[in-house]
Amino acid sequence: MRDITAIMSRDRAIPKHVAIIMDGNGRWAKQRNKERYEGHIAGVESVRAAVRAAVRNGVEWLTLYAFSTENWGRPTAEVDAIMELFCRTVMGEAKELASQGVRVKVMGERTRFSAEVLAMIDHIERSTAEGARLTLVLAFNYSARREIILAAQALAERVAKGDIRVDDIDEELFASELMSSGMPDPDFVIRTSGECRLSNFLLWQSSYAELYFPDVLWPDFGEEAFDKAMEVYAQRERRYGLVTEDC
Ligand code: IPE
Ligand code: IPE
Ligand code: MG
């Protein structure tokens, strides 16, 4: 039997993996009579703050949902502005991230991107590959359902080739075919802006994550807000379907 006390004390304090759905840039801009892309620009400062706060708090993995597969359906001008901002930010931050010991990985399908965006993804991953303090995962052109379908296809192909048997497919093998292969599951999923939904983010990996929906727009989510979130996490009791002695 699993020792629930040991599991719970281990899971208190610092989450190993924090995943954030960075939401509310457009509303932040609208409140200030600005264009939506200006909200995305302001959101970059919150990305910097989250990275600093994650490193300071001893978080080992930080995943940021930056662009969903569904976001391609936004007006072209906004999509172009986000892609340009991604390239500019990657160019400007690569050195600083490397010096902070941050390793960057981009998670998502490498389709639909321009050659410039693909080159920037390559650049940021290569130039930060030695980072050992924090792994920053940028979910960019990411869809959890698509990720699960791709894993199912890969496994079906392996079965068809005779490489594995149907019975061999268990949680571990399935997870090894996901884009998150090698990453720990998120302990804490935060979505800013008060919206309470996952919007196709880490559906498999978040099955036992603690969820938190602060009523703060992403550009206003600074280091203090991140620290407050860490306090909220520390108060949570993770049970994994088991029972504690006092209830
Ligand atoms: C999140 O902010 C950023 C992306 C989805 C790229 P939004 O752009 O969704 O902001 P709101 O939800 O419209 O305020
Ligand atoms: C989710 O936010 C995607 C990202 C934060 C990148 P959206 O703003 O796109 O999600 P919905 O449309 O409110 O569900
Ligand atoms: Mg939104």
132-160 pLDDT, tens digit each: 999 999 999 999 999 999 999 999 999 99
Compute the distance between CA of residue 59 and CA of residue 181 in angstroms, rounded to an integer.
19
| pLDDT for 244 | 78
Beta bridge partners, 114, equal: none
Catalytic residues: 23, 71
DSSP string, the chain: ---HHHHHHHHSS--SEEEEE---HHHHHHHTT--HHHHHHHHHHHHHHHHHHHHHHT--EEEEEEEEGGGGGS-HHHHHHHHHHHHHHHHHHHHHHHHTTEEEEEES---S--HHHHHHHHHHHHHTTT--SEEEEEEEEE-HHHHHHHHHHHHHHHHHHTSS-GGG--HHHHHHTSTTTTSPPPSEEEEGGG----TTSSTTTTTT-EEE--S--GGG--HHHHHHHHHHHHH----TT---TT-
The percent of residues in the chain predicted with pLDDT above 70, rounded, is: 94
Domains and CATH numbers, the chain: 13-142+186-234 (3.40.1180.10), 144-183 (no CATH)
Decide: 71 in ligand 2 pocket, CB within 6 A: yes
Protein residues with CB under 6 Å of any ligand 1 atom: 22-27, 67, 71, 82, 193
Please report which ligand is nearest the Cα atom of 70. 2
Pocket test for ligand 1, best of 21, 27, 190, 221 (most atoms within 8 A of CB): 27
| pLDDT for 1 | 47
Q: Give buried/exposed letters for 31-41 (b at 16+ CB in 10 A, else e).
A: eeeeebbbbbb
Nearest Cα neighbor of 52 from 193, 226, 214, 216 is 226
Near ion ligand 3, which residues have CB within 5 Å?
A: 23
Q: How far is the CA of 224 from the centre of ligand 2 (A)?
A: 23
Q: pLDDT tens digit string along 93-105? A: 999 999 999 999 9
Left if phi > 0, otherwise alpha if psi is -120 to 50, otherwise beta: which for 214?
beta
Q: pLDDT tens digit string along 21-59? A: 999 999 999 999 999 999 999 999 999 999 999 999 999
Decide: 210 in ligand 2 pocket, CB within 6 A: no
Pocket test for ligand 1, best of 23, 41, 80 (most atoms within 8 A of CB): 23
Mean pLDDT of the chain: 95
| Phi/psi at 143 (5° precision) | -145, 120
Neighbours of 213 (CB within 10 A): 16
Q: pLDDT tens digit string along 159-199? A: 999 999 999 999 999 999 999 999 999 999 999 999 999 99
Which atom of ligand 1 sits closest to the CA of residue 30? Answer: 14
Q: How far is the CA of 130 from the centre of ligand 2 (A)?
A: 31
Q: How far is the CA of 163 from the centre of ligand 2 (A)?
A: 38
> What is the average pLDDT across 62-85?
98
Residue owning tokens 């068809």: 160
CB-count exposure of residue 157 (10 Å: 0-12, 13-18, 19+): exposed
Query: Does residue 229 register a pLDDT over 50?
Result: yes
Distance between first and last Cα of the chain:
18
Neighbours of 16 (CB within 10 A): 15
